[in-house]
Chain A
Amino acid sequence: MVIRTGTGGIDVRASIWGLVAVMITLVGVYFGSGSLRWFDAALAGYLIGVLLAVWATVYRYLVWIQRPPTAVLNRRGWESFRSKGKVGRNVGGLVGLVFTNILAQGFIRRRSVARWAAHQLVFWGCILAAAVTFPLTFGWLHFESVGQSGDQYKAYLFGIGTVAFPAESLIGFVMFHTLNIAAFLVIGGVLVFLYRRLRDPGALAVERATDFLPLVGLFAVSITGLFLTASSLWLEGRYYSFLTDLHALTVILGLLYIPFGKLFHIFQRPANLGVHYYRRAGAEGEQQLCRVCEQPWASKMQVDDLKFVLPQVGFDYSDGSGGNWQDTCPRCRRTSIALAQTNRVGGFG
């Protein structure tokens, strides 16, 4: 598959911003962990993985958002969001949009309920896991046993004591098994995805290794995490250290994969919110008339944006006398092409 980055070489600005993000993370770790007092050195490997992922994600994000069409959409999205007299409405609508499009993901459900269910399982599994592991790794969250018997635990967030609970209680069970629950959610979702992909010849044909990789990765992270639990619960800790390393390896590789692979859509997808505002502003604004049928067919703003972007990416659809092919509606594009082709074919008529 051809990856179009749009630019060649290293983007210095983006790498600097990546470093800034890494510094901010480190500062956060330092202060959030009480000057590393609660930082668990055993998790240092994870921290390094996170830092690399942060740098690469910020870098990739900035490179992406500078691409001409993305830059225009980014600017237009915010402009539309902030447009005079609409801010109130737009802010109000944001909650709903975030819920339906980012959290509930109704657009996937409309493709297929099974696909949606799988995606929801993976999504919430990952959110849950991240909500626990990132604070743990950063030393923002730690547990201490309280009382004499040692069967009471207290969770500390940024060094501030929160709830105390008995290890054997339900809350204790949930606390300690959050990652296992997350792993089951993710594995469930991954299996549904795999089942669908392997059963559907259409999906199989367009599938690539790059599509299976994230599923394999998520599965590996989840299953090695579960092995750890299994080892401590049922195997008296046999293979524990090997499994720890294995799990750490899968997680770190997974973190490093995020900015480069399919999972980068986690950061791209929110642009869909901008599209909603862009689209609404477009619908409310002036409409582009087709140069052939003279009917409105799209937002003039968007067509103008495209006419601005296209030369930047190497296309010139103007005809040199003030006309532009891009002013033609898609239907008239198709029919004009058919007529032009028919004119090049004799033999009848």
Chain B
Amino acid sequence: MAKLPVTEEELIEKYGPHLNVAPPGGWNAGLDIDREVKTHCCFCGQQCGIKLKVKDEQVVGFEPWYEFPFNQGKLCPKGVKRYLQGAHPDRLLDPLERDPSAEGGFKVTTWDSALDRVVAEIRRIQAEYGNDSFAILSGVSITNEKSYLMGKFARLGVQTANLDYNGRLCMVSAGVANKKALGMDRAPNPWSDIPLADVVFVAGSNVAECSPITTSYIWRARDRGAKLIVADPRVTPLARTADVFLGLKPGTDSALMGTILHVLIENDWLDHDFINAHTVDFDSAAEAVRTYTPEWGSQVCGVPKERIIEAARLWGTSATGMLLHARGIEHHTKGVENVLSCINLGLATGKYGKPGCGVSTITGQGNGQGGREQGHKCDQLPGNRDIANPEHREYIASVWGCDESEIPGKGMSAQEIMDAINDGEIKGLLSICFNPVVSLPDSNHTAEALSRLEFYTAIDFFMSESAQFCDVVLPGTLQEEDEGTTTSVEGRAIKINQAIAPPGNARKDWEIIIDIAERLGRGKYFQFDDTEDIFNEMRVASRGGTADYYGMTWDRIEDEFGIFWPCPEEGHPGTPRLYEGGRFAHSDGKARFHGVAYRDPAEVIDDEYPIWLTTGRVVSQYLSGTQTRRIGPLVEQYPEPLCEMHPRLAAQLGVESGDIVNVSSRRGSMSLPARVVESIRPDTVFIPYHWPGAQAANQLTNRALDPLSKIPEYKVSAVRVEKGDGHRKIYDRRVTTLQEKGQSL
């Protein structure tokens, strides 16, 4: 049923992406403003403080917020231009109903009729196929309050088990590994620990482009004399400045970390006291890497063995050290193992629970940390509780005022939901803050699946590529149009302040959700007057869980520039650094080593598909690009995906920079310009994933999942690259366009 109502061109014509290039009123409109609102950037988990300038109830610009301690005014280009997502011509202002005869494929409708239809379809589908045949997909660019509400709404409002979130595509493997090894899923350190490290090891994280503000922390460490190790198949902008660069083959991360552990053991660069006092199972970790000699590691990873030994020496002999990792090691069928192999390095050298020491994931999404604690994961209840644990269920049922049996059990994960939709097992879908057509792997499969839904509704502020498949589109809120809290990469809960009201007939997301719950006859569970009400229930729900927000209030969060959880009782200062004194969150207080044996990725190169493909982000775009592909200055910076390849590979293919190449995998193929650069391994190509349709890198990627965390393997696919037809001039980003501008001063 849910195929695109009209052609893609007609949808784009009507709903964009169009580009917002200047503030409302234009650049010449002057700078006198009505007020500045202290809040945070909506793009990425760093959650930088920013002041938004408001004039005539529109966001017209920004001012650095120097006092906010995390970024002290610093911003990346996305932060600088985030304000241009407001007053946007593509903004959805009315509820829309699919109508192939209407311009752009949708007709404007009223909230009443839209919500009645949503509720009728939920009822019909659940009556016909069972409660779990209606699924909900949520996201973690929304606030803690909304994340909490989505979890409760799915369980008690819609009464489905099948709720999951797009954090599943983010750092969930790190979360699982942290829980397994340390007993808790949170970055163990405040970022202020990074400058205290004597060695900083960045593994699989393009810090400069995906978490740019972290760069300043790393440089602060280096200004103290710290050494920098970077492991990445590409010489990313930060890697260029590294002391030791490990340009490893995609998918070989655990081999690299295993080899480093081998070298640490070999040279006795270990902290035996720490291992003995605070950990268990060191022997199994050591046994697993017994044969991982530098020669072996060098061969598997494609990295000179001297560099691996040097990295091990720096890590093992430095008194303090931070290992930072991100999607580069987490987006794998071995995501959990990769992270465990990093944690092993931290535990073996005693780098936990003290200043300048820790192994931490750099969460990617806006509320990637907080959103994964409040209970909108398929296996989780608020406070990072386990949905299968009877005690946890009992407690949450008491907070919610329902019977424990009313809370459904564990549901499917995000990719599994999409697969079940494709198999006809799930018939209806409600999504918020999720653009699966662009962000899930194997995007042809995703589009096919969405076309099979009997009913699909999305809450969105722009007509995302997934919303285009909807029967009903509900206009929700941009981050600056509502208030609430998020929890940043550091585990610091911070306050998002409302700058302006939702425009037109758009409504606040939580009001829409509560309205649907009421129409479903479940209103008694959703008696909230405002967002702070939701927060106050949420902090009670989190009480006693690992992610304990109970002691926090909105006022304190604002006054103290954020509070680190756990904050178990009122007056508690919060907990910036975890595991102080080597006390881990497992019941015995000890951390667990894990034996990590290297295994191949789900797909390996062969004669037919002889090149590795890895995917990632560029600094000017955020995730599936629903927002950032509509901001002109950001689009100018990197307008279309380019296929990065090494000159050696390019020479084999007869390709020069700008030549169109055809890249194909077992799932699909795409054509795009090549960018020939020496900054990538000769056996690997890289394509950024922010674009939809024919430009989607995810046409090529693999749906294979990590068995434990269910994270897909975005970072390794086998592809074939051939020279295609045509050539495109590739500019050095904005330089040319800027010089040509000059109309308005």
Contact = CB atoms under 8 A, between A and B. Distances in A.
Let me know if chains A and B touch directly in the complex, using CB atoms closer than 8 Å. Answer: yes
Nearest to B245: A349
B31 interface: yes
A347 B222 CA distance: 9
B743 interface: yes
Interface string B404-443: 0000000000000000000000000000000000000000
B32 interface: yes
Interface of B: 28, 30-32, 222, 228, 241-243, 743-745
Contacts of B228: 348
Contact of A200 (B31, B743, B744): B31
B31 A112 contact: no
Contacts of A112: 28, 744-745
Nearest to B32: A199
A110 B743 contact: yes
A201 interface: yes
A202 to B, nearest CB: 7
B524 to A, nearest CB: 53
Given A111-B744, A112-B28, A349-B241, 19 more contacts: A110-B744, A110-B745, A111-B745, A112-B744, A112-B745, A114-B28, A199-B30, A199-B32, A200-B30, A200-B31, A201-B31, A202-B31, A347-B243, A348-B222, A348-B241, A348-B242, A348-B243, A349-B242, A349-B243
Interface in A313-349: 347-349
Nearest to A111: B745
A18 to B, nearest CB: 36
A200 to B, nearest CB: 5
A114 B745 CA distance: 12
A114 B29 CA distance: 11
A194 to B, nearest CB: 14
Contacts of A348: 222, 228, 241-243
Interface in A148-200: 199-200
Nearest to A114: B28
A201 B743 CA distance: 21
A111 B28 CA distance: 9
Contacts of B745: 110-112
A316 B30 CA distance: 43
A200 B28 CA distance: 9
A210 to B, nearest CB: 21
Nearest to B743: A110
Contacts of A199: 30, 32
Nearest to A347: B222
Contacts of B28: 112, 114
Interface of A: 110-112, 114, 199-202, 347-349
**Residue of A114, A201, A349 ringed by the most chain B CB atoms within 10 A:** A349
A115 to B, nearest CB: 9
A347 B221 CA distance: 12
A348 B32 CA distance: 45
Contacts of A200: 30-31
A202 B30 CA distance: 9
Nearest to B222: A347
Nearest to A195: B30
Contacts of B243: 347-349
A349 B222 CA distance: 13
Nearest to A203: B30
Contacts of B743: 110
A111 B745 CA distance: 5
B441 to A, nearest CB: 35
A291 B164 CA distance: 59
Contacts of B31: 200-202
A349 B745 CA distance: 42
- 4 smallest beta-carbon distances between A and B, as pairs: A111-B745, A348-B241, A112-B28, A199-B30
25 contacts: A110-B743, A110-B744, A110-B745, A111-B744, A111-B745, A112-B28, A112-B744, A112-B745, A114-B28, A199-B30, A199-B32, A200-B30, A200-B31, A201-B31, A202-B31, A347-B222, A347-B243, A348-B222, A348-B228, A348-B241, A348-B242, A348-B243, A349-B241, A349-B242, A349-B243
Nearest to A345: B241
B105 to A, nearest CB: 39
A345 to B, nearest CB: 10
A202 B31 CA distance: 9
Contacts of B222: 347-348
Contacts of B744: 110-112
Most chain A CB atoms below 10 A, which of B28, B228, B243: B28
B377 to A, nearest CB: 40
Contacts of B32: 199
A111 B744 CA distance: 5
A292 B734 CA distance: 22
A342 to B, nearest CB: 9
B60 to A, nearest CB: 14
Contacts of A202: 31
Contacts of A111: 744-745
Nearest to B28: A112
A112 B744 CA distance: 7
Contacts of B242: 348-349
A201 B32 CA distance: 8
A154 B130 CA distance: 102
B425 to A, nearest CB: 53
A258 to B, nearest CB: 26
Nearest to B31: A201
A3 B243 CA distance: 49
Contacts of A201: 31
Nearest to B225: A347
Q: Which of A112, A114, A202 has the most CB of B within 10 A?
A: A112
Contacts of A349: 241-243
Nearest to A201: B31
Contacts of B241: 348-349
A21 to B, nearest CB: 36
A158 B745 CA distance: 47
Nearest to A110: B743
A338 B495 CA distance: 40
Most buried by B among A111, A114, A202: A111
B199 to A, nearest CB: 13
A328 B193 CA distance: 45
A68 to B, nearest CB: 29
A112 B25 CA distance: 13
A111 B742 CA distance: 9
A110 B222 CA distance: 47
Contacts of A110: 743-745
A202 B241 CA distance: 36
Nearest to B735: A331
Nearest to B223: A347
Nearest to B732: A331
A26 B604 CA distance: 96
A349 B227 CA distance: 11
Nearest to A348: B241
A202 B32 CA distance: 11
A348 B221 CA distance: 13
A114 B28 CA distance: 10
Nearest to A108: B745
A112 B745 CA distance: 7
A348 B314 CA distance: 14
A200 B241 CA distance: 41
A201 B31 CA distance: 7
A112 B30 CA distance: 12
B75 to A, nearest CB: 20
A135 to B, nearest CB: 38
A318 to B, nearest CB: 29
A10 to B, nearest CB: 39
A201 B745 CA distance: 15
A254 B31 CA distance: 33
A349 B228 CA distance: 10
Contacts of A114: 28
A202 B242 CA distance: 40
A131 B228 CA distance: 73
A199 B31 CA distance: 8
B429 to A, nearest CB: 49
